[in-house]
Structure 1
Amino acid sequence: MPDANITKKALAASMKKLMEEKPFDKISVIDICEGCGMNRKSFYYHFKDKYDLVNWIFYTDFIILASSSSYTDGWDLLQAVVELFYRDQSFYICALEIDGQNSFREYFYESTEPIFNLFTSAIGDVDGMGPLDNHYVVDIFLVIIYRWLKEGCVMGPEKFTTYLRHVMILVGKKLTEGSL
């Protein structure tokens, strides 16, 4: 299986480079393959389509990391996600702009729902608000982190995480009070 990972990583590197140069909808599988000297057959052996490749990149960047690490609470997880998105800003800006079926946002929701349970528990524990719906938490996270990335990450990851934490707690309180 090591050869499969080498191939996947080469395709991923090609995709990331292309996403820095042009919009996702203008990138073809042929472009991705040419960028790393592979053929379409190799691509389709590993991935269903370019959406699948983008999702695999996130999976290898974060999901494996999150499931193999032990976070003490949801806030540690939040910090890890912010740092991941910060390290690879251009890729994640483009990924978050993909719309439609099989989009990165859709995959993000599906793949992080169990992981974000830690996070919603941490928010809900603040002032005894009770559990929050993961969808609200993920929505808040994606909207705010997208803006932060698009604006050039004007505050560093640690400061941004603190800011994001305060916003999410405030919104969580408003949701549980029914005033939002």
Structure 2
Amino acid sequence: MADSNITKKALAASLKELMTEQSFEKINVTQICERCDMNRKSFYYHFKDKYDLINWIFDTEFMALVKDEDLHADYGKHWALVEKACDYFYENHAFYRKALQIKGQNSFSDHFREYIRPLLQNRLSYIFGQGNVDEFVLGFFADAVLCAMERWLLARNCIPSREFVERIKDLTEKCVTAIYREIAEPQQPAPEEAEK
């Protein structure tokens, strides 16, 4: 098991290094293996293809980051977790900028969406106080998270993670406050209706 992880980590480091030099599309398995002095057989023993390796990098690094986190944490701790996750993406934004540009079947964007869905479902179930969150709600929030992350990480001048999270938090709180105020206030007739 330990040897397997050493091999996977060496292949991952090789791919990450290659991605600093060229686009993902131009990288092939032979280059990944040559960079870390391994043969193709070793690569295919552990991974189906280079897309599988990209997903493994995300899964292992991100899972290590959030594995002990409580998704039912209080409001402040929840935002601390969001900031921790965004710090990770920002520290690795050169890698994820290229990973998010992969299109078509096996794209990282699709993998990321599928990965965050259960995390979102868990959090939304807690917020809404219900067991199952329907597909529409889950899809809406998964799209929102993915689009916001892609726009942020693909931006030419990617703002620091703290600023990104602070802006999202500020926007969320302002929207919730405004919606609550609008719902709580009695409906006032439009000026032209009041004159009738």
Query: What interval of TM-score do these two structures reach, taking the shorter chain for normalisation?
Result: 0.7 to 0.9
Q: Which residue number in structure 2 is paired with residue 33 of structure 1? A: 33
With over 3 angstroms needed to count, the CA separation of the structure-2 counterparts of 1:3 and 1:11, relative to structure 1, is same
Q: Which residue number in structure 1 is paired with residue 81 of structure 2? A: 77
Shift of 1:146: 2.2
Q: Which residue number in structure 2 is paired with residue 89 of structure 1? A: 93
Alpha-carbon distance in 2 for matches of 1:65, 1:41: 30
Note the alpha carbon deviations across 1:95-117, whole angstroms, 9 max, x for none. Answer: 11111111111111112211122
- Counterpart of 1:57, as a letter, is I
With over 3 angstroms needed to count, the CA separation of the structure-2 counterparts of 1:166 and 1:141, relative to structure 1, is farther
Matched, 1:99 2:141: no
Alpha-carbon distance in 1 for matches of 2:172, 2:128: 10
1:135-150 residue pairs with structure 2 within 5 A? 135-149=139-153, 150=155
Note the alpha carbon deviations across 1:9-54, whole angstroms, 9 max, x for none. Answer: 0100111111111111111001111111111000000000000000
1:120 to 124, 132, 143: 124
Report the TM-score, using the length of structure 1 for normalisation: 0.80
Percentage of matched positions with identical amino acids: 44
Shift of 1:137: 1.9
Q: Which residue number in structure 2 is paired with residue 56 of structure 1? A: 56
Shift of 1:121: 5.1
Superposition RMSD on alpha carbons, in Å? Answer: 2.8
**SS at structure 2 position matched to 1:70:** coil
Alpha-carbon distance in 1 for matches of 2:120, 2:49: 27
Shift of 1:168: 5.4
Q: Which residue number in structure 2 is paired with residue 15 of structure 1? A: 15
Shift of 1:57: 0.3
Report the TM-score, using the length of structure 2 for normalisation: 0.74
Tell me the number of residue pairs that the alignment of Structure 1 and Structure 2 aligns. Answer: 169
After TM superposition, the structure 1 stretch with the greater mean CA deviation from structure 2, 114-123 or 36-45, is: 114-123
Show structure 2 runs of 5+ residues with no match: 184-196
With over 3 angstroms needed to count, the CA separation of the structure-2 counterparts of 1:87 and 1:121, relative to structure 1, is farther
Show structure 1 runs of 5+ residues with no match: none
Q: Which residue number in structure 1 is paired with residue 158 of structure 2? A: 153
